[in-house]
Structure 1
Amino acid sequence: MSKNHYKVAGARLNDANNLTSKILSIVKRDSNPKDLGFFSSSTTLSNKITVASSVDGVGTKSRIFKYFGDYSNLGHDIVNHCVNDILPSGAKPLIFLDYLAFSSVNEVDILRVVEGIAEACKYVGCSLVGGETAQMTDIYESGDLEIVGFMMGLIEEKKRPKLNTIRSGDLVVGIPSNGLHTNGYTLVRKIFNIEKNQDVLNSLVPGTRFSLGEMLTSPHKSYFHLLWDSLEHIKSIAHITGGGIPGNAGRSIPDDFKVVVNTKAWEIPNLFRFIKDFGKVTETEMYNVFNMGLGMLVIIDCSKKDLILDLNDEMKVVGHIEKRMPREAKVVLKGTEDENSG
């Protein structure tokens, strides 16, 4: 494969980011939602009620399940992704709706997805209030499944992000991910040629007791119960999804600051090392595509360090906040081949 593996695989991050910027300009022109560009947008319904909303999909991860895994995990994927998108706004999940589109998929598999959605909603106290299924034989290939979810949550004022309190010297705490979550699957499918070589999914990932298929079908982790009771002590949160740390960490801070991440502060999981080595992917591209083992970054005051780290033994301080000069990158990855990241 060429130097830019993701582009060859059919995914162009720069094109997608440019399109998103143009869409945001239209939305800002014709309506007045708050927090656009954050991980969810918020709308005030009355003097006392503000809601956060998010919509997302599982992308091409669903294609792995044609050959390996329990379809119910995809239900957990889409709910947990949305939960993690509204959590940085200080929102508690309220309602969820799903959209499932396919050409021809086994009915049992569809029902397993919905069961997973229902289970994940129940886990965070969210009501599954509706959905849509669409069979489009001339759009999707046989076995393809498009899974999209919409979530709305109720924002609690004391749990809102405190962006105006962010200062140089604040700490950045990393929370481990559960594999790829729901991003980077287009690249992974191409690297391992999964469509033509499904047997590779049964191969053990070096340094682990798990197969590639098991690790690729692990569900997106929900951070709601871990963080909800401590949001008052957290200044901001970044959900690390598509675009990796460079594409998401900067969304959680004001423009006059930057996030400095020390990539040597945590152990990169073996799955990501396997992908990098097998596909001969550059370190820069790995960080621009994958979460690299961190599903969320939490920004806190130094005085809250022990309180937050005590929430989970695997959480680590992975960086800090610095003042940003004009034209400087908002995210700097120390210890990589390209430290000026994004």
Structure 2
Amino acid sequence: MPMLIRRLDFWRNKTKHKKNSETNQRLKLFKENGKVLLEDLIELCNGKSNPIKTFSANQILEATNNFSESNHLIRFELMYRGILENRPVLIKRPIWKLYTSDTLAKICRDIAVSSMVSGHKNFLKLLGCCLEFEYPVLVCEYAERIPSNTPNLGLGMRIKIAKEIAIAVSYLHTAFSRTMIHMDIQPSNIFLDSNGTVKLSGFCLCVSIPEGETFVKVDADRVEGVLDYLEYKYVTTGVVTENTDVFSFGVLLQNLLTTKHRVVDCCSDDERMPEKFVSEQNVMNLRISDRVSKFVEEGRIFEILDPNMFESMDGDENQERERQRMEAVIMLSLRCTGNRGDVPKMMEVAKELKRIERWT
């Protein structure tokens, strides 16, 4: 019996020591991560930010059933569905396994900017974060990512998505003392809530331009983002301006309305290519924005538009009106990417999309 008691005491002490060690580690991470987050908030908004609620690691683990696969929403990304405080939430956990020295800074930037814009309906609302893991975890309102298979979306919905994202980016550019540049406008950062409201998210790469300045320069050797969405000037010089976002948004417009893969794949095999494409091998090596510009120059704009958008159109008059709306959006996208005329401000882009949306 004494031997059994001693063993029980040993395991109690060991369990207690483990729990104390885990608690101390979480407290240490909370302080370290919180310090970086606070510094970012002070830089971006002079410390006058919206309060950020913090959740414990235990709450996050319980909400996601210990990050179970059954709650894992998006392949290749650690986004989980969870229930927290009796409401569905979207929990974003960093997946960056190729960690860099500034990984923590990027996550804290995502939290900081999310907290600044959470009052606007076209941003994914931040409900809080957890600082007790190695890298902070974000807790957001629940929403679904926009469908990757845009053929399921009608023209009206595509224009609505574009318009509401344009409104969100305009807000980033104009609502704060420092102009905020998103730097990663692309489909994977766009969500839809249950009411069909479009939400912009993903501020890890967000850059702020100092007050009174129109640009900021970053290290050109550390340019990041999805290549087709990156403005040429930013890629080559590291100079970030409002136009950096406008360019990305223009490419987003083109991907919403065109069949990007159809344009690319038609030149993958010379023997099967339609004759009219044989002479265009070099064109297909261009970036998306340049390919679209090339087709428009040759008067072949409707060859690259997604044919699924035409299937639900009844009557010649209706089809003609919708074709005009599509062409107007494509031409606007070329202005955004610098292929046609002066590059507009995002506020101008939002107004133009509202006008196009109202066409009857």
Assess same fold via TM > 0.5: no
Larger Rg: 2
More strand by share: 1
